[in-house]
Amino acid sequence: MTTEPPAPAPAGGSPARHPGDEPPATELHVLNPATEEHVATVAAAGAADVDAAVTRAARAQRAWAAAAPGDRARLLRRFAAVVDDHVEELALLEVREAGHTLGNARWEAGNVRDLLDYAAGGVERLTGRQIPVAGGVDVTFLEPLGVVGVIAPWNFPMPIAAWGAAPALAAGNAVLLKPAETTPLTALRLAELALEAGLPEHLLQVLPGEGPVAGAALVEHPGVAKIVFTGSARVGKGVMAKCADRLARVTLELGGKSPNVVFADADLEAAALAAPMSFLDNAGQDCCARTRILVQRTVHDRFLELLAPAVERVVVGDPADERTQMGPLISRVQLDRVRSYVPDGADALRGSAPRGPGFWYPPTVLTGVDPGAPVATEEVFGPVAVVLPFDDEADAVRLANATDHGLSGSLWTRDVGRALRVSRAVQAGNLSVNSHSSVRYWTPFGGFKQSGVGRELGPDALASFTETKNVFISTEG
Protein backbone atom coordinates (compact mmCIF):
# COMPACT_ATOMS: atom_id res chain seq x y z
CA MET A 1 0.00 0.00 0.00
CA THR A 2 1.14 3.53 -0.69
CA THR A 3 1.86 5.03 2.72
CA GLU A 4 1.94 8.58 1.39
CA PRO A 5 -1.11 9.03 -0.84
CA PRO A 6 -1.20 11.92 -3.26
CA ALA A 7 -2.29 15.28 -1.94
CA PRO A 8 -6.06 15.43 -1.62
CA ALA A 9 -8.33 17.07 -4.12
CA PRO A 10 -9.91 19.33 -1.50
CA ALA A 11 -13.66 19.67 -1.54
CA GLY A 12 -13.57 23.43 -1.29
CA GLY A 13 -10.31 24.64 -2.75
CA SER A 14 -7.11 23.95 -4.63
CA PRO A 15 -3.48 23.63 -3.60
CA ALA A 16 -1.64 26.94 -3.36
CA ARG A 17 0.18 28.15 -6.43
CA HIS A 18 3.95 28.35 -6.42
CA PRO A 19 6.41 30.38 -8.48
CA GLY A 20 6.73 28.88 -11.92
CA ASP A 21 3.22 27.45 -11.96
CA GLU A 22 1.17 27.96 -15.11
CA PRO A 23 -0.85 31.21 -15.23
CA PRO A 24 -4.38 31.31 -13.80
CA ALA A 25 -7.08 29.79 -15.94
CA THR A 26 -9.44 32.10 -17.76
CA GLU A 27 -12.02 29.34 -18.21
CA LEU A 28 -13.33 26.43 -16.18
CA HIS A 29 -14.29 23.26 -18.04
CA VAL A 30 -17.04 21.25 -16.39
CA LEU A 31 -17.06 17.48 -17.03
CA ASN A 32 -19.76 14.91 -16.36
CA PRO A 33 -18.06 12.53 -13.87
CA ALA A 34 -20.16 9.59 -15.05
CA THR A 35 -19.14 9.88 -18.72
CA GLU A 36 -16.16 12.28 -18.80
CA GLU A 37 -18.08 14.29 -21.41
CA HIS A 38 -17.79 18.07 -21.54
CA VAL A 39 -20.81 19.79 -19.97
CA ALA A 40 -20.01 23.51 -20.00
CA THR A 41 -17.30 26.15 -20.13
CA VAL A 42 -17.48 28.95 -17.55
CA ALA A 43 -15.42 32.13 -17.38
CA ALA A 44 -13.03 32.09 -14.42
CA ALA A 45 -13.00 35.09 -12.11
CA GLY A 46 -9.69 36.74 -11.22
CA ALA A 47 -8.60 39.02 -8.41
CA ALA A 48 -9.90 42.13 -10.22
CA ASP A 49 -13.31 40.51 -10.63
CA VAL A 50 -13.42 39.76 -6.92
CA ASP A 51 -12.50 43.33 -6.04
CA ALA A 52 -15.22 44.74 -8.27
CA ALA A 53 -17.75 42.28 -6.86
CA VAL A 54 -16.94 43.35 -3.29
CA THR A 55 -17.58 46.98 -4.19
CA ARG A 56 -20.94 46.12 -5.75
CA ALA A 57 -21.87 43.87 -2.83
CA ALA A 58 -21.08 46.51 -0.23
CA ARG A 59 -23.40 48.95 -1.95
CA ALA A 60 -26.20 46.38 -2.24
CA GLN A 61 -25.74 45.32 1.39
CA ARG A 62 -26.32 48.79 2.78
CA ALA A 63 -29.68 49.03 1.05
CA TRP A 64 -30.61 45.45 2.01
CA ALA A 65 -29.80 46.03 5.70
CA ALA A 66 -31.89 49.20 5.69
CA ALA A 67 -34.96 47.39 4.32
CA ALA A 68 -37.74 46.47 6.71
CA PRO A 69 -37.24 42.99 8.23
CA GLY A 70 -40.62 41.87 6.91
CA ASP A 71 -39.64 42.87 3.38
CA ARG A 72 -36.37 40.94 3.57
CA ALA A 73 -38.20 37.89 4.89
CA ARG A 74 -40.78 38.12 2.12
CA LEU A 75 -38.10 38.22 -0.58
CA LEU A 76 -36.28 35.23 0.86
CA ARG A 77 -39.53 33.26 0.95
CA ARG A 78 -40.13 34.25 -2.67
CA PHE A 79 -36.61 33.04 -3.47
CA ALA A 80 -37.49 29.72 -1.81
CA ALA A 81 -40.65 29.47 -3.90
CA VAL A 82 -38.75 30.12 -7.13
CA VAL A 83 -36.21 27.43 -6.19
CA ASP A 84 -39.12 25.08 -5.54
CA ASP A 85 -40.41 25.76 -9.05
CA HIS A 86 -36.99 24.74 -10.42
CA VAL A 87 -36.13 21.75 -8.20
CA GLU A 88 -36.07 19.30 -11.08
CA GLU A 89 -33.97 21.58 -13.28
CA LEU A 90 -31.46 22.15 -10.49
CA ALA A 91 -31.35 18.44 -9.68
CA LEU A 92 -30.61 17.45 -13.26
CA LEU A 93 -27.88 20.09 -13.41
CA GLU A 94 -26.33 18.61 -10.26
CA VAL A 95 -26.45 15.12 -11.76
CA ARG A 96 -24.54 16.34 -14.82
CA GLU A 97 -21.86 18.42 -13.11
CA ALA A 98 -21.34 16.45 -9.88
CA GLY A 99 -22.43 12.89 -10.71
CA HIS A 100 -24.93 12.80 -7.86
CA THR A 101 -27.76 10.31 -8.01
CA LEU A 102 -31.04 11.84 -9.08
CA GLY A 103 -32.67 11.16 -5.72
CA ASN A 104 -29.84 12.87 -3.87
CA ALA A 105 -29.84 15.82 -6.25
CA ARG A 106 -33.57 16.35 -5.77
CA TRP A 107 -33.07 16.31 -2.01
CA GLU A 108 -30.24 18.85 -2.33
CA ALA A 109 -32.33 21.29 -4.37
CA GLY A 110 -35.16 20.84 -1.88
CA ASN A 111 -32.75 21.50 0.96
CA VAL A 112 -31.85 24.87 -0.58
CA ARG A 113 -35.55 25.72 -0.74
CA ASP A 114 -36.20 24.60 2.85
CA LEU A 115 -33.18 26.43 4.23
CA LEU A 116 -34.23 29.68 2.57
CA ASP A 117 -37.67 29.29 4.12
CA TYR A 118 -36.17 28.52 7.53
CA ALA A 119 -33.77 31.48 7.36
CA ALA A 120 -36.58 33.79 6.29
CA GLY A 121 -38.42 32.85 9.47
CA GLY A 122 -35.51 34.13 11.52
CA VAL A 123 -35.31 37.61 9.99
CA GLU A 124 -38.02 39.08 12.22
CA ARG A 125 -36.82 37.12 15.26
CA LEU A 126 -33.22 38.31 15.18
CA THR A 127 -33.59 40.28 18.37
CA GLY A 128 -31.22 41.83 20.88
CA ARG A 129 -31.67 42.10 24.64
CA GLN A 130 -32.54 44.66 27.28
CA ILE A 131 -30.09 44.30 30.16
CA PRO A 132 -30.87 45.76 33.62
CA VAL A 133 -28.35 48.47 34.57
CA ALA A 134 -28.22 51.36 37.01
CA GLY A 135 -28.88 54.87 35.80
CA GLY A 136 -30.42 54.08 32.46
CA VAL A 137 -31.47 51.51 29.88
CA ASP A 138 -29.08 49.13 28.17
CA VAL A 139 -30.00 47.38 24.93
CA THR A 140 -28.16 45.26 22.40
CA PHE A 141 -28.54 45.14 18.63
CA LEU A 142 -27.43 42.38 16.27
CA GLU A 143 -25.90 44.24 13.34
CA PRO A 144 -25.03 42.55 10.02
CA LEU A 145 -21.34 42.04 9.29
CA GLY A 146 -21.47 43.46 5.74
CA VAL A 147 -20.08 41.34 2.91
CA VAL A 148 -19.70 37.60 3.53
CA GLY A 149 -17.63 35.25 1.37
CA VAL A 150 -18.89 31.67 1.04
CA ILE A 151 -16.45 29.15 -0.47
CA ALA A 152 -18.48 26.06 -1.32
CA PRO A 153 -17.17 22.55 -2.03
CA TRP A 154 -17.73 20.21 -4.95
CA ASN A 155 -19.15 17.33 -2.95
CA PHE A 156 -22.47 19.03 -2.08
CA PRO A 157 -22.41 22.22 -4.17
CA MET A 158 -26.01 23.34 -3.72
CA PRO A 159 -26.89 22.71 -0.08
CA ILE A 160 -23.57 23.78 1.43
CA ALA A 161 -23.64 27.00 -0.57
CA ALA A 162 -27.07 27.66 0.93
CA TRP A 163 -25.90 26.78 4.46
CA GLY A 164 -23.76 29.89 4.35
CA ALA A 165 -25.70 32.13 1.99
CA ALA A 166 -29.23 31.78 3.38
CA PRO A 167 -28.56 32.80 7.01
CA ALA A 168 -26.06 35.44 5.92
CA LEU A 169 -28.66 37.07 3.67
CA ALA A 170 -31.35 36.75 6.33
CA ALA A 171 -29.12 38.55 8.84
CA GLY A 172 -28.79 41.51 6.45
CA ASN A 173 -25.51 40.73 4.70
CA ALA A 174 -24.49 40.51 1.04
CA VAL A 175 -22.94 37.23 -0.14
CA LEU A 176 -20.14 36.48 -2.58
CA LEU A 177 -20.25 32.77 -3.40
CA LYS A 178 -17.21 31.03 -4.86
CA PRO A 179 -18.15 27.52 -6.00
CA ALA A 180 -15.59 24.78 -6.53
CA GLU A 181 -13.91 24.73 -9.93
CA THR A 182 -15.58 21.47 -10.97
CA THR A 183 -19.14 22.38 -9.91
CA PRO A 184 -20.03 26.02 -10.65
CA LEU A 185 -23.26 25.50 -12.60
CA THR A 186 -25.86 25.13 -9.86
CA ALA A 187 -24.42 28.15 -8.01
CA LEU A 188 -24.71 30.29 -11.14
CA ARG A 189 -28.28 29.14 -11.67
CA LEU A 190 -29.25 29.87 -8.06
CA ALA A 191 -27.97 33.43 -8.44
CA GLU A 192 -30.17 33.83 -11.53
CA LEU A 193 -33.17 32.52 -9.58
CA ALA A 194 -32.45 34.99 -6.78
CA LEU A 195 -32.78 37.87 -9.24
CA GLU A 196 -35.93 36.30 -10.68
CA ALA A 197 -37.37 36.22 -7.16
CA GLY A 198 -36.68 39.93 -6.73
CA LEU A 199 -33.59 39.98 -4.55
CA PRO A 200 -31.60 43.18 -5.16
CA GLU A 201 -28.96 43.09 -7.86
CA HIS A 202 -25.44 42.28 -6.60
CA LEU A 203 -26.71 41.05 -3.21
CA LEU A 204 -25.85 37.45 -4.12
CA GLN A 205 -23.00 37.18 -6.63
CA VAL A 206 -21.25 34.03 -7.84
CA LEU A 207 -17.53 34.08 -8.61
CA PRO A 208 -16.46 30.85 -10.35
CA GLY A 209 -12.72 30.55 -10.35
CA GLU A 210 -9.67 28.74 -9.11
CA GLY A 211 -9.12 28.48 -5.38
CA PRO A 212 -5.63 30.01 -5.40
CA VAL A 213 -6.91 32.93 -7.49
CA ALA A 214 -10.55 33.85 -6.87
CA GLY A 215 -10.70 32.04 -3.55
CA ALA A 216 -7.51 33.63 -2.26
CA ALA A 217 -8.62 37.09 -3.40
CA LEU A 218 -11.91 36.65 -1.54
CA VAL A 219 -10.22 35.45 1.65
CA GLU A 220 -7.68 38.29 1.64
CA HIS A 221 -10.00 41.15 0.64
CA PRO A 222 -10.33 43.80 3.35
CA GLY A 223 -13.94 44.41 2.36
CA VAL A 224 -15.04 40.85 3.20
CA ALA A 225 -16.02 40.61 6.86
CA LYS A 226 -16.39 36.84 7.16
CA ILE A 227 -15.41 33.71 5.26
CA VAL A 228 -17.43 30.50 5.37
CA PHE A 229 -15.30 27.66 4.02
CA THR A 230 -15.97 23.96 3.55
CA GLY A 231 -13.13 21.75 2.35
CA SER A 232 -9.98 20.00 3.46
CA ALA A 233 -8.26 20.73 6.77
CA ARG A 234 -5.07 21.63 4.89
CA VAL A 235 -6.74 24.36 2.85
CA GLY A 236 -8.94 25.42 5.76
CA LYS A 237 -5.91 26.12 7.94
CA GLY A 238 -4.56 28.41 5.22
CA VAL A 239 -7.90 30.22 5.03
CA MET A 240 -7.92 30.69 8.78
CA ALA A 241 -4.35 32.02 8.82
CA LYS A 242 -5.11 34.57 6.10
CA CYS A 243 -8.27 35.70 7.86
CA ALA A 244 -6.33 36.02 11.12
CA ASP A 245 -4.05 38.61 9.49
CA ARG A 246 -6.99 41.00 9.25
CA LEU A 247 -9.13 39.57 12.09
CA ALA A 248 -11.89 38.49 9.72
CA ARG A 249 -14.41 36.03 11.13
CA VAL A 250 -14.43 32.43 9.90
CA THR A 251 -16.63 29.38 9.96
CA LEU A 252 -14.77 26.26 8.83
CA GLU A 253 -16.10 22.76 8.13
CA LEU A 254 -13.04 20.68 7.35
CA GLY A 255 -13.85 17.03 6.98
CA GLY A 256 -14.12 13.92 9.06
CA LYS A 257 -13.26 10.30 9.68
CA SER A 258 -16.42 9.31 11.41
CA PRO A 259 -16.96 6.15 13.48
CA ASN A 260 -19.92 3.80 13.24
CA VAL A 261 -19.86 2.00 16.60
CA VAL A 262 -21.81 -1.28 16.79
CA PHE A 263 -22.18 -2.85 20.24
CA ALA A 264 -23.03 -6.51 20.80
CA ASP A 265 -26.48 -5.65 22.18
CA ALA A 266 -27.47 -3.71 19.04
CA ASP A 267 -29.95 -4.85 16.42
CA LEU A 268 -27.20 -6.31 14.22
CA GLU A 269 -29.43 -6.84 11.21
CA ALA A 270 -30.54 -3.19 11.24
CA ALA A 271 -27.00 -1.94 11.83
CA ALA A 272 -25.56 -4.04 8.99
CA LEU A 273 -28.34 -3.07 6.59
CA ALA A 274 -27.82 0.63 7.29
CA ALA A 275 -24.01 0.58 7.26
CA PRO A 276 -23.33 0.62 3.47
CA MET A 277 -25.10 3.88 2.67
CA SER A 278 -23.60 5.51 5.76
CA PHE A 279 -20.31 5.65 3.83
CA LEU A 280 -21.42 5.16 0.21
CA ASP A 281 -23.77 8.11 -0.07
CA ASN A 282 -22.37 10.45 -2.73
CA ALA A 283 -19.73 7.78 -3.48
CA GLY A 284 -18.21 8.37 -0.06
CA GLN A 285 -17.48 12.02 -0.87
CA ASP A 286 -19.14 13.12 2.32
CA CYS A 287 -17.41 14.61 5.35
CA CYS A 288 -19.89 12.76 7.58
CA ALA A 289 -19.25 9.35 5.97
CA ARG A 290 -19.03 6.60 8.59
CA THR A 291 -15.86 5.07 7.17
CA ARG A 292 -14.63 3.46 10.40
CA ILE A 293 -17.01 0.66 11.36
CA LEU A 294 -16.15 -0.34 14.93
CA VAL A 295 -17.75 -3.66 15.92
CA GLN A 296 -17.64 -5.36 19.32
CA ARG A 297 -15.41 -8.40 19.01
CA THR A 298 -18.02 -10.91 20.21
CA VAL A 299 -20.30 -10.12 17.23
CA HIS A 300 -17.62 -9.09 14.71
CA ASP A 301 -17.85 -12.17 12.49
CA ARG A 302 -21.64 -12.28 12.54
CA PHE A 303 -21.77 -8.59 11.59
CA LEU A 304 -19.49 -9.18 8.59
CA GLU A 305 -21.75 -12.03 7.45
CA LEU A 306 -24.69 -9.62 7.47
CA LEU A 307 -22.74 -6.72 5.97
CA ALA A 308 -21.35 -8.57 2.93
CA PRO A 309 -24.65 -9.03 1.05
CA ALA A 310 -25.75 -5.51 1.97
CA VAL A 311 -22.62 -4.09 0.31
CA GLU A 312 -23.02 -6.31 -2.74
CA ARG A 313 -26.63 -5.17 -3.25
CA VAL A 314 -25.78 -1.48 -3.57
CA VAL A 315 -26.66 -0.35 -7.09
CA VAL A 316 -23.78 1.62 -8.64
CA GLY A 317 -24.31 3.15 -12.05
CA ASP A 318 -25.89 5.90 -14.12
CA PRO A 319 -26.74 8.66 -11.62
CA ALA A 320 -29.71 9.73 -13.75
CA ASP A 321 -31.33 6.29 -13.27
CA GLU A 322 -33.92 6.35 -10.47
CA ARG A 323 -32.70 2.94 -9.21
CA THR A 324 -29.07 4.01 -8.75
CA GLN A 325 -27.83 4.34 -5.16
CA MET A 326 -24.23 5.38 -5.83
CA GLY A 327 -22.66 7.31 -8.69
CA PRO A 328 -19.07 8.11 -9.72
CA LEU A 329 -16.31 10.02 -8.00
CA ILE A 330 -15.90 13.65 -9.02
CA SER A 331 -12.66 13.42 -11.03
CA ARG A 332 -9.69 11.36 -12.18
CA VAL A 333 -7.58 12.94 -9.45
CA GLN A 334 -10.02 11.82 -6.79
CA LEU A 335 -10.23 8.33 -8.28
CA ASP A 336 -6.45 7.97 -8.16
CA ARG A 337 -6.44 9.21 -4.57
CA VAL A 338 -8.98 6.61 -3.47
CA ARG A 339 -7.12 3.80 -5.25
CA SER A 340 -3.90 4.75 -3.48
CA TYR A 341 -5.39 3.84 -0.11
CA VAL A 342 -6.39 0.27 -1.02
CA PRO A 343 -3.55 -2.25 -1.40
CA ASP A 344 -3.75 -4.87 -4.12
CA GLY A 345 -5.14 -8.13 -2.79
CA ALA A 346 -6.45 -6.60 0.44
CA ASP A 347 -9.06 -8.56 2.38
CA ALA A 348 -12.30 -6.79 1.64
CA LEU A 349 -16.02 -6.98 1.07
CA ARG A 350 -16.68 -5.50 -2.35
CA GLY A 351 -19.55 -4.39 -4.49
CA SER A 352 -19.46 -3.70 -8.22
CA ALA A 353 -19.08 -0.60 -10.39
CA PRO A 354 -19.33 0.15 -14.11
CA ARG A 355 -16.31 -0.18 -16.37
CA GLY A 356 -15.38 2.22 -19.14
CA PRO A 357 -15.69 6.03 -19.15
CA GLY A 358 -16.34 7.77 -15.87
CA PHE A 359 -14.63 7.92 -12.50
CA TRP A 360 -15.93 4.72 -10.97
CA TYR A 361 -14.79 2.86 -7.86
CA PRO A 362 -16.66 -0.08 -6.30
CA PRO A 363 -17.98 -0.10 -2.72
CA THR A 364 -15.14 -1.51 -0.61
CA VAL A 365 -15.00 -2.55 3.06
CA LEU A 366 -11.52 -3.51 4.23
CA THR A 367 -11.06 -6.07 7.00
CA GLY A 368 -8.00 -7.04 9.00
CA VAL A 369 -6.66 -3.48 8.83
CA ASP A 370 -4.16 -2.06 11.31
CA PRO A 371 -6.04 0.66 13.26
CA GLY A 372 -3.10 3.01 12.64
CA ALA A 373 -3.01 2.53 8.87
CA PRO A 374 -3.69 5.65 6.75
CA VAL A 375 -6.91 4.16 5.38
CA ALA A 376 -8.14 3.83 8.98
CA THR A 377 -7.12 7.31 10.15
CA GLU A 378 -7.19 9.65 7.12
CA GLU A 379 -10.15 10.94 5.15
CA VAL A 380 -10.21 8.89 1.95
CA PHE A 381 -13.24 10.73 0.53
CA GLY A 382 -14.38 7.75 -1.49
CA PRO A 383 -16.47 4.57 -1.13
CA VAL A 384 -14.00 2.83 1.18
CA ALA A 385 -14.55 1.84 4.82
CA VAL A 386 -12.67 -0.29 7.33
CA VAL A 387 -14.02 -2.66 9.99
CA LEU A 388 -12.14 -2.62 13.29
CA PRO A 389 -13.00 -4.83 16.30
CA PHE A 390 -13.16 -3.53 19.87
CA ASP A 391 -13.45 -5.24 23.24
CA ASP A 392 -15.55 -3.09 25.55
CA GLU A 393 -17.07 0.36 25.93
CA ALA A 394 -13.81 2.02 26.90
CA ASP A 395 -12.04 0.43 23.93
CA ALA A 396 -14.81 1.62 21.61
CA VAL A 397 -14.43 5.20 22.83
CA ARG A 398 -10.64 5.02 22.48
CA LEU A 399 -10.90 3.84 18.87
CA ALA A 400 -13.65 6.30 18.01
CA ASN A 401 -11.46 9.18 19.19
CA ALA A 402 -8.24 7.90 17.59
CA THR A 403 -8.26 10.42 14.75
CA ASP A 404 -7.59 14.12 14.27
CA HIS A 405 -11.16 14.62 13.08
CA GLY A 406 -14.39 14.87 15.04
CA LEU A 407 -17.31 15.71 12.80
CA SER A 408 -19.96 13.02 13.16
CA GLY A 409 -20.61 9.40 14.05
CA SER A 410 -23.16 6.75 14.90
CA LEU A 411 -23.76 4.45 17.87
CA TRP A 412 -25.78 1.24 17.70
CA THR A 413 -27.02 -0.13 21.04
CA ARG A 414 -30.25 -1.00 22.82
CA ASP A 415 -28.85 0.33 26.13
CA VAL A 416 -30.01 3.92 26.63
CA GLY A 417 -27.48 4.55 29.38
CA ARG A 418 -24.64 3.35 27.16
CA ALA A 419 -25.90 5.49 24.29
CA LEU A 420 -25.73 8.59 26.50
CA ARG A 421 -22.36 7.72 28.07
CA VAL A 422 -20.67 7.02 24.76
CA SER A 423 -22.30 10.03 23.08
CA ARG A 424 -20.77 12.26 25.75
CA ALA A 425 -17.37 10.54 25.48
CA VAL A 426 -16.97 10.53 21.69
CA GLN A 427 -15.29 13.72 20.47
CA ALA A 428 -17.57 14.68 17.59
CA GLY A 429 -19.97 17.50 16.89
CA ASN A 430 -22.85 15.42 15.50
CA LEU A 431 -23.81 11.97 16.72
CA SER A 432 -26.72 9.70 15.93
CA VAL A 433 -28.00 6.71 17.90
CA ASN A 434 -29.37 3.73 15.97
CA SER A 435 -29.34 5.74 12.75
CA HIS A 436 -26.92 7.64 10.52
CA SER A 437 -28.52 11.07 10.45
CA SER A 438 -26.11 14.01 10.75
CA VAL A 439 -27.52 17.10 9.10
CA ARG A 440 -30.84 18.85 9.61
CA TYR A 441 -31.14 22.49 8.68
CA TRP A 442 -32.91 23.29 11.96
CA THR A 443 -30.14 21.85 14.21
CA PRO A 444 -26.51 23.00 14.60
CA PHE A 445 -23.79 21.34 12.54
CA GLY A 446 -20.01 21.46 12.98
CA GLY A 447 -17.03 19.56 14.27
CA PHE A 448 -14.52 19.04 17.05
CA LYS A 449 -10.72 19.02 16.66
CA GLN A 450 -9.57 19.44 13.03
CA SER A 451 -13.09 19.04 11.66
CA GLY A 452 -13.63 22.75 11.91
CA VAL A 453 -14.41 25.95 13.76
CA GLY A 454 -17.89 27.25 14.51
CA ARG A 455 -21.35 25.91 13.77
CA GLU A 456 -23.67 26.16 10.79
CA LEU A 457 -27.43 25.69 10.50
CA GLY A 458 -29.88 25.58 13.39
CA PRO A 459 -31.57 28.38 15.34
CA ASP A 460 -28.35 30.31 15.97
CA ALA A 461 -27.15 30.43 12.37
CA LEU A 462 -28.30 33.99 11.69
CA ALA A 463 -26.61 35.35 14.81
CA SER A 464 -23.24 34.02 13.61
CA PHE A 465 -23.44 36.54 10.75
CA THR A 466 -23.89 39.52 13.08
CA GLU A 467 -21.95 41.70 15.50
CA THR A 468 -23.43 42.51 18.90
CA LYS A 469 -23.69 46.24 19.54
CA ASN A 470 -24.33 47.46 23.07
CA VAL A 471 -26.10 50.82 23.63
CA PHE A 472 -26.54 52.49 27.03
CA ILE A 473 -29.10 55.29 27.34
CA SER A 474 -28.85 57.41 30.47
CA THR A 475 -32.08 58.27 32.24
CA GLU A 476 -30.43 60.64 34.72
CA GLY A 477 -30.10 64.39 34.31
d(C-alpha 191, C-alpha 201), whole Å: 10
Q: Please identify every residue annotated as catalytic.
A: 253, 287
Confidence (pLDDT) at 99: 98
Reply yes or no on whether the pLDDT at 19 is more than 50. Answer: no
Residue 30: its H or E element: strand 27-31
**Whole-angstrom Cα distance, residue 383 to residue 363?**
5
Strand partners, 364: 350, 384
Task: Return the pLDDT at 23.
Answer: 80
Paired residues of 292 in beta bridges: 259, 386
Instruction: Tell me the average pLDDT of the chain.
Output: 95
Q: What angle do CA 210, 20, 23 make, to 5 degrees?
A: 35
Report pLDDT for 438.
Answer: 76
pLDDT, position 404: 95
Confidence band of 10 (pLDDT split at 50, 70, 90): very low
- Distance, in Å, from the CA atom of 397 to the CA atom of 453, rounded to the nearest integer, reads 23
Nearest to residue 281, comparing CAs of 294, 291, 272?
291
Residue 383 has pLDDT above 60, yes or no: yes
pLDDT band at 11; cut points 50, 70, 90: low
Lowest mean pLDDT among 18-32, 115-129, 238-252, 352-366: 18-32
Q: Given a cut of 70, is residue 454 above it in pLDDT? A: yes
Mean pLDDT in residue range 1-14: 39
- Give the pairing type, strands 452-453 and 27-31: unpaired
Lowest mean pLDDT: which of 22-26, 306-310, 427-431? Answer: 22-26
Lowest mean pLDDT segment, chosen from 127-131, 341-345, 362-366, 405-409: 341-345
Per-residue pLDDT reduced to its tens digit, 311-321: 999 999 999 99
DSSP helix/strand/coil, 34: coil
pTM of the model: 0.94
Between residues 477 and 96, the one the model is more confident about:
96
pLDDT digits (tens, 9 = 90+) for 148-168: 999 999 999 999 999 999 999
Calculate what percentage of the chain has a pLDDT beyond 90. Answer: 94
Q: Which pLDDT band, with edges at 50, 70 and 90, does 88 fall under?
A: very high
pLDDT at 21: 59
185 DSSP assignment:
H
Q: Please state at what angle helix 157-170 crosses helix 87-98, rounded to 10 degrees.
A: 130
Q: Span 393-422, mean pLDDT?
A: 98
Write the burial class of residue 406 (CB in 10 Å: 0-12 exposed, 13-18 middle, 19+ buried): buried
